[in-house]
């Protein structure tokens, strides 16, 4: 009964989405407030029904209702509760339901928070949002319903893929989807503006918080996925340039470009057409990412054909929305008036440069990911495009971009002064050079490039701080005044400083981890001691124990430094009998920002075992940098200037006094 309820709720959500996609749109054309007023309640209602449908599915998993095909395929009554819940989206059907849940959530949020938007814009935005929703409801209901029953119902389920039985699954996909789907808002705003044929700085101000929110979630989602792969896969890699990873990186790059170009549009009323195009592209790349991951086209062109209906359906969605979006763009964009002139050397100029590099980097990832597929489809020739290609192309594109980061916030709008900015960055520059020299002194000259990378990272971090120092004039006024000024800086200034600092931290982590990691791949016998950098790891032997739905083989390593015992590390291998899969649970020991990483290989009959031991210096900075970026985005989001509902600073006071709508 419950699954049928969920199915029915989803159909009702589709019905509401259909109404929402047509009625407000007609209202906006005929300027009928009643018809336009339909948009907001339907958006909220849609969310309520999808949420109900989703809750029904979660319930079926929690109570292990194996009469549902997806529950049987992906769950098992022995699994702990948290994995029974997370396995809801650990498969195709459930993850698509999560996708539409988040889509409906964003629609409802727009309906709720955008009461001060012009009525026609709000109606159009929600109508476009509903077009996307209709397509995905149909996709789920026709090709991938999670509510399909089995008869007779099996007694026990097949269990979630053990690799996914991890806390990472609880966080990574929802965050990623919040990011992907969040870009649908900027897409809807862009299409609505094109339909209206009218766009101004206020538009950018309304869109930016949504884009920022999506970008934050995507940043954290990608970082979370990377950390998960790092500790779960057992060899300490954290980025593989895998097509699935690229699928999430592409919208991130486009979204980052969009954030920066929307800034130019908001402040200077320039780059309108480009910003609109980026809004369309960011969401198109999210759709492309969903398609790549969901259609199975990546494993090979042949898997795609094995379930053609799904693949073709989602391909049609892709063509309609990307093709349609770009067509509307080509047709209407010439109507948009360009404004705001600027000299090449100016903040706008630098932001344009930022966009040039980001979009080129994004295009590189797109081409590298799709090229083998296209080549095979067209000529039959099979090639591989992997990490070496991306390191060689993506790296050189990103380095100039990173180098330019500190200049951006210090440059004046309209017409900047490059020598002046360079002068203000002199301290950061010196710090960077000192870091290069120090790194050479400590690490020697055998890795030439790494110290330069450290220097660049320090320059980016110090440059971000320079902006704060310059704006508050700390160096030239008494401490008390300076402190007040620092506290009084707009949150968006702090936000961008933190986001840029986060980028520098991530770079620092990447450079240190890739250049100065130590590894030992060795067969250890009990009581054998392995020296790893400054640490001694003594293998204490193996033991067997049972978990709720697996059996584990655990090794114990005693970690000492200069004879003092620091900790014990217990890496293990888990064998899941239902699926006959063994997973690797690496043991991590965090020392500052560095980590010792131990994972087990295969045991030998004599009690020895192959072990992989790594010392990874500053590796945590890779992901902490992303957390700092997220925090920066959050600060910016709470800036009054950007807060949804406060379009103009001058009106903020009256708005605060008015009753909440």
Residues in 499-518 at the binding interface with other proteins, rule: CB under 8 A: 510-511, 514-515, 517
The region of 95-103, 284-292, 388-396, 464-472 touching other proteins under the rule CB under 8 A is 388-396
The 343-362 contact track toward other proteins, x by CB under 8 A, reads -x-------x---xx-xxx-
Task: Extract the runs of DSSP E, i.e. beta strands, from 292-408.
Answer: none
Question: How many residues line the site for other proteins (CB under 8 A)?
Answer: 79
Contact, 650 vs 640, CB < 8 A?
Answer: no
Token couple for 329:
């763009």
Q: What's the CA gap between 107 and 99, in Å, rounded?
A: 12
Closest-CA residue to 556 (of 524, 584, 583): 524
* CB of residue 183 to other proteins, shortest distance in Å: 22
Using CB under 8 A as the binding rule, whether residue 422 contacts other proteins is answered as yes
The region of 123-131, 185-193, 207-215, 377-385 touching other proteins under the rule CB under 8 A is 377-385
Using CB under 8 A as the binding rule, whether residue 397 contacts other proteins is answered as yes
The region of 73-81, 253-261, 419-427, 570-578 touching other proteins under the rule CB under 8 A is 419-427
Using CB under 8 A as the binding rule, whether residue 575 contacts other proteins is answered as no
Q: What's the CA gap between 619 and 295, in Å, rounded?
A: 34
Closest-CA residue to 550 (of 227, 80, 61, 169): 80
Token couple for 335:
């109507």
Using CB under 8 A as the binding rule, whether residue 395 contacts other proteins is answered as yes
Q: 522, 530, 566, 578: which one contacts other proteins (CB under 8 A)? A: 522
* CB of residue 452 to other proteins, shortest distance in Å: 3
Using CB under 8 A as the binding rule, whether residue 523 contacts other proteins is answered as yes
Q: 126, 134, 280, 385: which one contacts other proteins (CB under 8 A)? A: 385
Q: What's the distance, CA 38 to chain centroid?
A: 33
Using CB under 8 A as the binding rule, whether residue 423 contacts other proteins is answered as yes
The 216-255 contact track toward other proteins, x by CB under 8 A, reads -------------------xxxxxxxxx------------
Q: What's the CA gap between 589 and 597, in Å, rounded?
A: 7
Q: Which residues pair with 568 in a beta bridge?
A: 558
Q: 151, 379, 580, 654: which one contacts other proteins (CB under 8 A)? A: 379
* CB of residue 467 to other proteins, shortest distance in Å: 16
Q: What's the CA gap between 177 and 380, in Å, rounded?
A: 34
Closest-CA residue to 640 (of 489, 457, 418): 489
Residues between 576 and 635 with contacts to other proteins, criterion CB under 8 A = 601, 610, 612, 614
Q: What's the CA gap between 458 and 455, in Å, rounded?
A: 5
Closest-CA residue to 193 (of 328, 103, 300): 328
The region of 83-91, 363-371, 465-473, 483-491 touching other proteins under the rule CB under 8 A is 363-371
Give 379-417 as a DSSP string. H-------HHHHHHHHHHHHHHHHHHTTHHHHSPSSS--
Residues between 299 and 328 with contacts to other proteins, criterion CB under 8 A = 299
Q: 341, 481, 483, 656: which one contacts other proteins (CB under 8 A)? A: 341
Q: Which is nearer to other proteins, 174 or 509 (CB)?
A: 509
Q: Which is nearer to other proteins, 143 or 360 (CB)?
A: 360
Q: Which is nearer to other proteins, 147 or 241 (CB)?
A: 241
Contact, 40 vs 116, CB < 8 A?
Answer: no
Using CB under 8 A as the binding rule, whether residue 445 contacts other proteins is answered as no
Q: What's the CA gap between 504 and 253, in Å, rounded?
A: 16
The 466-505 contact track toward other proteins, x by CB under 8 A, reads ----------------------------------------
Angle among Cα 374, 379, 382 to the nearest 5 degrees reads 70
Q: 31, 327, 391, 638: which one contacts other proteins (CB under 8 A)? A: 391
Contact, 326 vs 190, CB < 8 A?
Answer: no
Q: Which is nearer to other proteins, 393 or 554 (CB)?
A: 393
User: What is the H or E stretch that residue 255 is in?
Assistant: helix 243-268
Q: What's the CA gap between 289 and 294, in Å, rounded?
A: 8
Q: 337, 382, 531, 648: which one contacts other proteins (CB under 8 A)? A: 382
């Amino acid at each position: 009964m419950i699954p049928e309820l969920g199915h029915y709720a989803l159909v009702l959500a589709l019905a509401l989405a259909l109404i929402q996609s047509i009625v407000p749109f007609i209202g906006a054309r005929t300027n009928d407030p009643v018809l336009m007023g339909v948009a907001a309640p339907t958006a909220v209602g849609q969310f309520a029904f999808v949420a109900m449908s989703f809750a029904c599915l979660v319930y079926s998993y929690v109570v292990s209702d194996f009469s549902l095909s997806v529950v049987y395929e992906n769950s098992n009554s022995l699994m702990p509760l948290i994995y029974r819940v997370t396995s809801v989206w650990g498969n195709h059907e459930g993850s698509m339901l999560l996708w539409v849940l988040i889509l409906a959530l964003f629609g409802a949020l727009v309906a709720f928070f955008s009461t001060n938007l012009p009525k026609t814009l709000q109606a159009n935005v929600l109508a476009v949002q509903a077009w996307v929703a209709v397509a995905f409801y149909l996709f789920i209901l026709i090709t991938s319903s999670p509510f399909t029953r089995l008869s007779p119902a099996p007694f026990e389920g097949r269990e979630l893929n053990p690799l996914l039985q991890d806390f990472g699954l609880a966080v990574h996909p929802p965050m990623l989807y919040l990011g992907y789907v969040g870009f649908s808002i900027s897409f809807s705003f862009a299409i609505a503006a094109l339909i209206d044929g009218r766009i101004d700085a206020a538009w950018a101000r309304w869109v930016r918080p949504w884009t920022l929110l999506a970008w934050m979630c995507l940043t954290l989602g990608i970082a979370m996925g990377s950390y998960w792969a790092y500790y779960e896969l057992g060899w300490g890699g954290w980025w593989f340039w895998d097509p699935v990873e690229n699928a999430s990186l592409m919208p991130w790059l486009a979204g980052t470009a969009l954030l920066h170009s929307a800034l130019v549009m908001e402040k200077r009323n320039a780059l309108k057409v480009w910003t609109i195009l980026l809004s369309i592209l960011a969401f198109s790349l999210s759709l492309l990412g969903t398609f790549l991951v969901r259609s199975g086209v990546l494993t090979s062109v042949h898997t795609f054909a094995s379930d053609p209906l799904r693949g073709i359906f989602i391909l049609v969605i892709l063509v309609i929305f990307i093709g349609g979006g770009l067509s509307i763009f080509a047709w209407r964009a010439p109507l948009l008036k360009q404004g705001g002139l600027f000299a090449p050397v100016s903040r706008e100029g630098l932001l344009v440069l930022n966009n040039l590099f980001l979009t080129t980097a994004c295009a590189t990832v797109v081409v590298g990911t799709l090229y083998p597929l296209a080549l095979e489809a067209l000529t039959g020739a099979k090639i591989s495009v992997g990490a070496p290609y991306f390191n060689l192309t993506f790296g050189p594109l990103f380095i100039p971009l990173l180098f330019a980061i500190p200049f951006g916030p210090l440059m004046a709008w309209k017409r900047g002064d490059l020598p002046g900015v360079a002068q203000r960055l002199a301290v950061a520059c010196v710090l960077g050079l000192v870091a290069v020299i120090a790194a050479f002194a400590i690490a020697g000259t055998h890795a030439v490039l790494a110290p330069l990378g450290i220097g660049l990272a320090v320059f980016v971090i110090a440059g971000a701080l320079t902006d704060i120092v310059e704006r508050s004039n700390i160096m030239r006024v008494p401490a008390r005044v300076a402190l007040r000024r620092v506290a009084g800086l707009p949150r968006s200034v702090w936000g961008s400083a933190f986001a840029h600092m986060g980028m520098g931290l991530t770079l620092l982590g990447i450079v240190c981890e890739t250049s100065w990691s130590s590894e030992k791949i060795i067969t250890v016998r009990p009581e054998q001691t392995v020296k790893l950098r400054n640490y001694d790891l003594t293998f204490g032997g193996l033991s067997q124990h049972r978990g709720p739905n697996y059996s584990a083989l655990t090794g114990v390593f005693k970690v000492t430094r200069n004879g003092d015992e620091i900790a014990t590390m217990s890496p293990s291998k888990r064998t899941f009998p239902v699926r006959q899969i063994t997973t690797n649970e690496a043991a991590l020991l965090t020392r500052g920002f560095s980590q010792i990483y131990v994972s087990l290989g295969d045991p030998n009959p004599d009690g020895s075992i192959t072990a992989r031991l790594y010392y990874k210096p500053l590796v945590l900075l890779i992901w902490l940098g992303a957390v700092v970026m997220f925090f920066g985005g959050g600060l910016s989001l709470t800036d009054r200037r950007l807060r949804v509902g406060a379009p103009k600073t001058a009106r903020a006071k009256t708005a605060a006094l008015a009753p909440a709508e």
